[in-house]
Amino acid sequence: MAKKKNKKLEFNKGWTYSEAPESSGHIDLKKKYDLFIGGKWVKPSKGKYFDSVNPANEEKLSEVAHASAQDVDLAVKAARQAYDNVWSKMSGAERGKYIYRIARLIQERAREFSVIESLDGGKPIRESRDVDVPLAANHFFYYAGWADKLEYAFPNRKVGSVGVAGQVIPWNFPLLMAAWKIAPALATGNTIVIKPAETTSLTALKLAELIQESGLPEGVVNIVTGEGDTGAAIVNHPDVDKIAFTGSTGVGKIIQKAIAGTNKKVTLELGGKAANIIFEDAPINQAVEGIINGIFFNQGHVCCAGSRLFVQESVYDEVVRKLKDRIETLIVGDPMDKNTDIGAINSKEQLNTIKKYLKWGKEDGAEMHQSSCSIPKKGYWCKPTLFLNTAQSHRIVQEEIFGPVLAVQTFRTVDEVIQKANNTPYGLSAGVWTDKGSKIFNLTTKMRAGVVWANTYNKFDPASPFGGYKESGIGREGGLHGLLPYINFN
């Protein structure tokens, strides 16, 4: 990579940080990627490819194959063959060895994976390095451990696999979502056809290289890249036994309709509009830091982002002042810089969606406050944004924006905040900030959300189940619960 001038990163109040860019010199990206089917690289039948672009500078990183329904059929056939002939017959202990190997290989190549994740997706290198890649490896380690212990996971029951799993994932945590899907499916003896999101296919394709290196039998994991039509071809394929989808609620509904009346098992991990609640007895500085992490982490491209903030009236002024101060100090810019807090928005389309909501927020009468930071001229960027004086009826309060935008409201009583927080079609996650354990227990039982964090936010562990209520999804991933969707009890 060309050596850059050591320009100071300037931001508010005269503080400066020297640039600290992560090198991308060691990564090896092909100019063009084919489909990974039956353990081999296969050209797409229609010869179509699309560009994968770095959202921080709009430069093309590579070309990626667009799989047709015919290619998906080939991948399903490879997965079926591998299931019938090898994987379903292998002992859990043997399967576990392969999964451990994949986990270790991810650890060995962690730096390469995190650099590619940041280049391709726009997220700060600090996050891909410290969150995405280690958690992905941990997921494989965790489920490798279950592979030979399924009889203890489900005592007195005869555990069988389901067959071929069709998996479709989004762009916000590309490698991590692939790990969430692949690891439990392999541990339980299923084979896989997986499709990464069209804007972030590269780490899944690097994972294909690593899977080849691991010696996993051919056809056990097939990786087909493409757009919505490729995902639909997986969902509609008659020989796929289970669908695991993570993405928007809109597409989740299409999938549910598509598989209605079939025998396919399904898990849907969909959108969210999480409430983060600060009570007056909370440690305010810690809470403000948690709120900031909850919504600005990964540019707000997080299904469980704490995008609605409820502040008890008595501490409202203090919390808002501290939030405004804190967003001024957030560093927005080059995802490859280790100082960066907020990287690039994943795509032009997503940036346009966010801009639409900023406009609607103002039109609906909310007061918008943005950081005064400057943003790069090229690429897709959004300044951290607060909306004050919002109402329950505002679109920025009701709908998932999937960007660094926080809508703030106030409340007086516990009952009022529970009612307001639950007033959403979603129910993926929530956060509570208070000094009182009793309040935490009260809220966790009454909040209609799959995950409720207390005095922290956005903490993940492979041993914890994750999933939503209402329109945030069906089923759980992670932990012991994450094995269930991939099991048939005989």
d(CA 185, CA 456): 30
d(CA 33, CA 65): 6
Q: Give the active site residues.
A: 269, 303
| Nearest-approach distance from CB 237 to ligand NAD, in angstroms | 11
Which CB sits closer to ligand NAD, 248 or 456?
248
Which CB sits closer to ligand NAD, 133 or 255?
255
CB-count exposure of residue 395 (10 Å: 0-12, 13-18, 19+)? middle
For 472, phi and psi rounded to 5 degrees?
Answer: -90, -5
The residue with tokens 């279950």 is 146
What string marks each residue from 185 to 224 as x (binds ligand NAD by CB under 6 A) or -? ----------x-xx--------------------------
What string marks each residue from 319 to 348 as x (binds ligand NAD by CB under 6 A) or -? ------------------------------
Which CB sits closer to ligand NAD, 251 or 344?
251
Residue 240 engages ligand NAD in binding (rule: CB under 6 A):
no
d(CA 482, CA 477): 4
Please identify which residue in 119, 131, 216, 251 interacts with ligand NAD, judged by CB under 6 A.
Answer: 251
The candidate with the shortest Cα–Cα distance to 330, out of 1, 6, 11, is 11
d(CA 370, CA 327): 8
The stretch near ligand NAD (CB under 6 A) out of 33-41, 95-103, 466-474, 478-486 is 466-474
Spatial neighbors of 364 by CB under 8 A, at least 6 apart, are 390, 391, 393, 394, 395, 396
The stretch near ligand NAD (CB under 6 A) out of 124-132, 267-275, 435-443, 456-464 is 267-275
# residues contacting ligand NAD (CB under 6 A): 30
| Nearest-approach distance from CB 333 to ligand NAD, in angstroms | 23
Residue 228 engages ligand NAD in binding (rule: CB under 6 A):
yes
Report strand pairing: 487-489 vs 275-278: unpaired
Please identify which residue in 42, 168, 205, 319 interacts with ligand NAD, judged by CB under 6 A.
Answer: 168
* Contacting ligand NAD within 413-452 (CB under 6 A): 428
What string marks each residue from 61 to 100 as x (binds ligand NAD by CB under 6 A) or -? ----------------------------------------
Residue 307 engages ligand NAD in binding (rule: CB under 6 A):
no
d(CA 209, CA 389): 50
* 8-state DSSP, 89: G
Read off the tokens for 271.
Answer: 């959108």
User: At 131, which amino acid appears?
Assistant: V
* 8-state DSSP, 433: E
* Contacting ligand NAD within 368-407 (CB under 6 A): 400, 402
The candidate with the shortest Cα–Cα distance to 208, out of 47, 78, 25, is 78
CB 221 within 8 A of CB 215: no
- Interacting residues with ligand NAD (CB under 6 A): 168-172, 195, 197-198, 227-228, 231-232, 235, 246-248, 251, 254-255, 269-272, 303, 400, 402, 428, 468, 472-473
